Amino acid sequence: MRPSPAALFVFLHIGPTLAFWPFGSGKRFTSEAFVNAGALGLDKVQGRVVAVGDWNGDQKLDLFTLSSDQSSVNVHIWDDDAFEYKLVRTLSTSRKIGNIVPNDFNRDGHLDLLVMYGEDEGGWWSSASEKIAMEVYLADGKGGFNTQPWTMPDSSGSQPMIFDADGSLRPSLLGRLSQSRGEVNPITAWLNSGTGMSLASVPFQQPELVCHLSNPHSSAFVDINGDCLADLVLDCIDARVDSRSIQIWLNRGSEGFQFAKSYNLPSGAGALSFADMNRDGTLDIIFPTCSRVSTSTGACHGAALNVLYNRQVPICSGSSSEFVGGQINGTLKCRGWGELCIADDNFEFSFTLGHDSFLSIPFSSIWPKDTPELLVNVAKSPSIPLPLRPGDFNLDGFPDLLLTVSNSSAVPHGGVLGGSSTGTQVKILQNVPCARGVAGCGKSNKGRGFAVGNGKGYGDLDHIWDAQGASWIDIDDDGTLDIMVQRSGDQDKTQVAFIQNNFYHDAFFLKAQVLNGACERECVPSAGGPKYSPLGVSYSGATYKFTVLDTLGHRVAQQAAQLPQTGYHALGTPYSFIGLGRTNNYVERLYVGTSLYPPYHTTYIESLVPNSQIIINPPSPPDEGANVSLPVKYRSSGWRSELYLSPGDWVPWVGAAVVGLVCTLGFVVIWLNEREKVSVIRQTTMLTHGQREDEIERRRALHAINFQAL
């Protein structure tokens, strides 16, 4: 049977057509799954990844690794073309490094490094008090560091945390002084003047109420009462009774921090994490509990997952807030979706089991068979806490949890008899709607529960059995939340593996990043030199609140924090990655909060396009002083924002469909026009001379316009 001419035409032309297809093949990985992308250039790394940042200001995530002997820090920047990380700088020291924190300490628009030295032998929230020396290595503007770092007084065994002590957008430190000074573990601040760090008292309104920080601790600089101004959540310990608690100090701007509430943590509580777990516009607290922790392996026996839901007023149906007893002296009843940054100082947490605002799920309920043990720290010297890491990998608007477990069947033996043995794996607990069999769902909680992510697409993640921690990261900044797995090297001699999230999610995301106001648009050095971008200098304490309409038309609120925690290898990204879920609308109004003094600490941006990255540069507060030589000529004078769109894989197909439709309609119009001309010619040839003139006159009248009627 001979092919038809039409079939031959398609066959002969489909090849050349695909050769000129302008959009490429799309994804680097084709399977819908978590795909092991390998070490991505970190094959020779023998230590751990200790921090994430944007070293060169190109809006790509770069990594900072610590050598195996903990004496040097290596800077690896992302190379788009090679699709891997490349080593560009090494900072070597003569002392043992415990942690590094990337930030812009002198506010020149370059990313600097805070290096913490010393050996903390504290284990699972002990009270050890070895001192920690600290230095700040300033970037020299040429891809390296200044030879003379900032030095500062030593801290005690608890690593200091980053916070804004004076509303200057400069990162100061909060921690404990070394006991060698004769003090009894006082809490203090290392105040950043822009040219160095000096000791100062923390602006607490009632300093006698301040607790002793745990060692290690998981304190945070994060908004708790919903006013878009970062507060202090202190992770405390009472050594006399060996119990931990949290203290919440509300940020009152120029009046300092006011003590609000204190809660005792359950016995065996681990590291605290913060996220809006139930999508109600407030930040909740997530932490594990253990009945016993192995000091040799860091495994948690009798583990449970706990979620403290932050109870605040709901969102109003309208854009304005409602008050009971009047707006001035009354009580807030609900927040309007156009006024999301109104404080609710009556916020509340509850530790009562069975209460709808406290969720505690034993691991035996999540894994009814072969229950694994949670890894809560890496048994090194010093030990490294492994918190539960929230992140919305499936973009449904509800953060999921990333954790490392010790699994008795993780290591396959193979051979004739087969079998398996104990190894450590990375698992995802998906935040899912309650249904039959979902852990955490019952009479007291009818909303959300947790289910183990497994099955088709999880094979590459489950095949790693030497994991020593994991964190969320967006590889290549393509709008998907991927996974970075830290490993012992026992499986294949590599220390790091990257798991590409290649699931085809039909939901949207938003990336948001607040800079520190160091520069007006581009940075212009005061001492002369080329301009440069300040896009890598986000800071701790920014807050995002917004509402979106779901596909059913329901308005839901969300809140996210930027870099709320910086201690103990926090591995926070310089931006907040927020899942929006399925929506057919813009982000109506994004509220952005900074640590500037109220009422100038917030702004809002309207009608944001989903699948985009928004960068906000706040106005710079009054500068360091008239006698201080500023590193840049022009500080930011007002709120500025830049929007970067991230088109999805379907955009080329939409474009092709539009072009095809236009071409088809154009062909139809031309064909009909030609048909009409032929018809007219045929009709006119059959008319007499007089009839032909009458027809021409009639056709002219069809196009005439009666201007008097207009």
**Residue from 169, 239, 237 nearest 534 by CA:** 169
Q: What is the pTM of this model?
A: 0.87
Residue 25: band (very low, low, confident or very high) from pLDDT cuts 50, 70, 90: very low
Would residue 453 be called left, alpha or beta, if left means φ above 0 and alpha means ψ between -120 and 50 degrees?
A: beta
Contact 204, 249 (CB under 8 A): yes
pLDDT digits (tens, 9 = 90+) for 532-570: 999 989 999 999 999 998 888 888 999 999 999 998 999
CA-to-CA dists, residue 481 to 141, 285, 288, 507, 579, angstroms:
31, 21, 23, 13, 10
The gap between the terminal CA atoms of the chain, to the nearest Å, is: 66
Kindly tell me if the per-residue pLDDT of 357 is higher than 90.
no
CA-to-CA dists, residue 443 to 307, 407, 452, angstroms:
16, 31, 21
Phi, psi of 494 (to 5 degrees): -105, 145
Measured between alpha carbons, how far is 171 from 177 in angstroms, rounded to an integer?
Answer: 18
Domain count, the chain: 1
Kindly tell me if the per-residue pLDDT of 182 is higher than 90.
no
pLDDT digits (tens, 9 = 90+) for 241-251: 678 999 999 99
DSSP string, 3-43: PPHHHHHHHHHHHHHHHT-TT----S--SSSEEEEE-TT-T
Which residues span the domain enclosing 557? 512-651
pLDDT at 120: 46
pLDDT at 110: 94
Kindly tell me if the per-residue pLDDT of 8 is higher than 50.
no
Residue 17: band (very low, low, confident or very high) from pLDDT cuts 50, 70, 90: very low
Count other C-beta atoms under 10 Å from residue 262's C-beta.
14
- Preceding peptide of 382 cis, ω within 30°: yes
Task: Report which residue type is found at 521.
Answer: R
pLDDT at 126: 41
Share of the chain above pLDDT 90, in %: 60
**Residue from 67, 46, 65, 47 nearest 55 by CA:** 65
Looking from the CA of 276 toward its CB, the CA atoms found within 13 Å total 29
What percentage of the chain's residues is helix, strand, coil (to nearest 5)? 10, 40, 50
**Rounded mean pLDDT of the chain?**
86
Measured between alpha carbons, how far is 130 from 119 in angstroms, rounded to an integer?
Answer: 7
Kindly tell me if the per-residue pLDDT of 175 is higher than 80.
yes
pLDDT digits (tens, 9 = 90+) for 266-296: 999 999 999 999 999 999 999 999 999 888 8
Instruction: Report yes or no on 662 lying in a domain.
Output: no
Residue 118: band (very low, low, confident or very high) from pLDDT cuts 50, 70, 90: confident
Instruction: Report yes or no on 224 lying in a domain.
Output: no
- Among 366-370, 598-602, 643-647, name the one with the lowest average pLDDT: 643-647
Instruction: Report yes or no on 174 lying in a domain.
Output: no
Instruction: Report yes or no on 550 lying in a domain.
Output: yes
**Residue from 461, 463, 437, 459 nearest 449 by CA:** 437
Residue 479: band (very low, low, confident or very high) from pLDDT cuts 50, 70, 90: confident
The stretch 143-165 carries a mean pLDDT of 90
The stretch 650-660 carries a mean pLDDT of 82
pLDDT at 115: 95
Q: H-helix or E-strand containing 644?
A: strand 640-645
pLDDT at 706: 60
Q: List beta partners, residue 115.
A: 100, 135
Share of the chain above pLDDT 70, in %: 86
pLDDT at 12: 36
pLDDT at 127: 41
Instruction: Report yes or no on 156 lying in a domain.
Output: no
The stretch 481-493 carries a mean pLDDT of 93
**Residue from 360, 363, 361 nearest 372 by CA:** 363
Measured between alpha carbons, how far is 328 from 344 in angstroms, rounded to an integer?
Answer: 14
Instruction: Report yes or no on 360 lying in a domain.
Output: no
CA-to-CA dists, residue 548 to 544, 556, 605, angstroms:
13, 6, 13
Measured between alpha carbons, how far is 101 from 512 in angstroms, rounded to an integer?
Answer: 20
Instruction: Report yes or no on 457 lying in a domain.
Output: no
Token pair, residue 302, equals: 């009798």
pLDDT at 88: 95
pLDDT digits (tens, 9 = 90+) for 58-90: 999 999 999 999 999 999 999 999 999 999 999
- Among 42-51, 211-220, 222-231, 620-629, name the one with the lowest average pLDDT: 620-629
The stretch 38-44 carries a mean pLDDT of 94
Beta strand ranges found along 502-611 (DSSP E): 508-514, 542-549, 555-562, 576-581, 587-593, 602-608
pLDDT at 386: 94
pLDDT at 18: 36
pLDDT at 554: 86
Token pair, residue 43, equals: 């094959």
Instruction: Report yes or no on 304 lying in a domain.
Output: no
- Among 20-34, 220-234, 346-360, name the one with the lowest average pLDDT: 20-34
